[in-house]
Amino acid sequence: MEKEKLELNDLADAILPWYYTHQRELPWRQDRDAYHIWVSEIMLQQTRVEAVKGYYNRFMEALPTVADLANASDARLSKLWEGLGYYSRVRNLHKAAQVIMEKHQGVFPKEYEEIIALPGIGPYTAGAVCSIAFNQKTPAVDGNVLRLWSRLTNDFRAVDQPAFRKDATAALKAIYPQNAGDFTQALMELGATVCGPDKAPDCGRCPCASFCKAHQLGTAQELPVRLPKKQRRIEYKTVFVLHAKDLYAISKRPAKGLLAGMWQFPNTDGFLSPTEAVDYLQKQNIRVENITKEVERTHIFTHIQWNMRCYYLDVGGVLPNLHWRTLEQIRSEEALPTAFRIFLPDEKQAPA
């Protein structure tokens, strides 16, 4: 095909051969099972591919079918998801699996409208599952595809505006080839790697270089345009790692809100001085014998930043209103989100 004749209509002809020879080997690309595609796509939201691989393999080993997921306990799911963040994702996976068992007799639905009706599934995931698992012409437009599309078309509108996504989805839908699942994955792969987010686009290796408008006009590095980010709200917390008789205190977070229902180390709002920390704990009927360590850490959520000061304290006795566990139990049995896991004492340094 002569270069000058290539247009966006020829996108599939350009990127499918590239995808067949350059795609990365990923655990969820071993087959086209809808359950595998669904779980991997949910895990990949806001999370890097390298971080997801281990979680995905463990999850599939523990829960190989939709029925296993539907029947899993909340505690088991939280543990399998521990450290991956955005925990509402796994709660929605659980709910959706139960809907599939009840409404679809345990068989993953094939129709886009049925898939998007499941909890936690939006247009992106529905498009990905429909096209990859069932070879339907349903675009899956994620951040990688938005970036790629803005460059291919030299579109300087903000990619995070709904109108951009809508137009990109409609334009892609019009040019979908027969092998729809491969095309979806090829777009994602090219956007994630060659036309990637972390460095300048590697146009010299790109199968679209001959018809990419931004490459032709020398504007690729100015794209994509994004709306200005909202400032994160900063919150201050004081965290207590309470230690007594080889046990550590954890408590449950409220059932609603950030990290809902997860375990945490006891904590309170604001930065407390050592004296204020001891006073605060005394008011909770916790008698402090000794502060053994103090550290400060930051944990960033999408819209909130926690600046945390953590005190490690030996306390006089195990209080019944908290849950007391050994370090080994916390590590292996309880789901402690990263915001608190960063304060887990090192086994070697833990007080005897």
Q: Name the residues annotated as catalytic.
A: 41
| Cα-Cα-Cα-Cα dihedral sign, residues 252, 257, 260, 264 | negative
Q: Does position 206 bind ligand SF4 by CB under 6 A? A: yes
Please pick, from the candidates 212, 244, 310, 313, the single residue that binds ligand SF4 as defined by CB under 6 A: 212
H or E segment to which residue 166 belongs:
helix 162-174
Of the listed pieces 145-153, 237-245, 246-254, 343-351, which binds ligand SF4 according to CB under 6 A?
Answer: 145-153
Token code pair at residue 48: 């890097």
Residue 210: CB minimum distance to ligand SF4, A: 8
According to DSSP, the β-strands at 288-300 and 233-244 are unpaired
Concatenating the DSSP letter of every residue in 234-301 gives EEEEEEEEEEETTEEEEEEPPSSSTTTT-EE--EEES---HHHHHHHHHHTT--EEEEEEEEEEEEE-
Enumerate residues 152-191 that contact ligand SF4 by CB under 6 A.
152
Nearer Cβ to ligand SF4 (42/148): 148
With CB under 6 A, what is the number of residues at the site for ligand SF4?
A: 15
Enumerate residues 219-238 that contact ligand SF4 by CB under 6 A.
220
Concatenating the DSSP letter of every residue in 125-165 gives HHHHHHHHHH--------HHHHHHHHHHTT--SBTTSHHHH
Q: Does position 12 bind ligand SF4 by CB under 6 A? A: no
Of the listed pieces 23-31, 146-154, 229-237, 262-270, which binds ligand SF4 according to CB under 6 A?
Answer: 146-154
Residue 212: CB minimum distance to ligand SF4, A: 3
The conformation of residue 90, written as its DSSP 8-state character, comes to H
Residue 273: CB minimum distance to ligand SF4, A: 53
First to last CA, the chain: 72
Distance of CA 212 to the CA centre of its chain: 30
Residue 22: CB minimum distance to ligand SF4, A: 13
Q: Does position 151 bind ligand SF4 by CB under 6 A? A: yes
Q: Does position 215 bind ligand SF4 by CB under 6 A? A: yes
Of the listed pieces 197-205, 233-241, 243-251, 322-330, which binds ligand SF4 according to CB under 6 A?
Answer: 197-205
Residues in the chain: 352
Nearer Cβ to ligand SF4 (202/279): 202
Q: Which residues bind ligand SF4 (CB under 6 A)?
A: 148, 151-152, 194-195, 201-203, 206, 208-209, 212, 214-215, 220
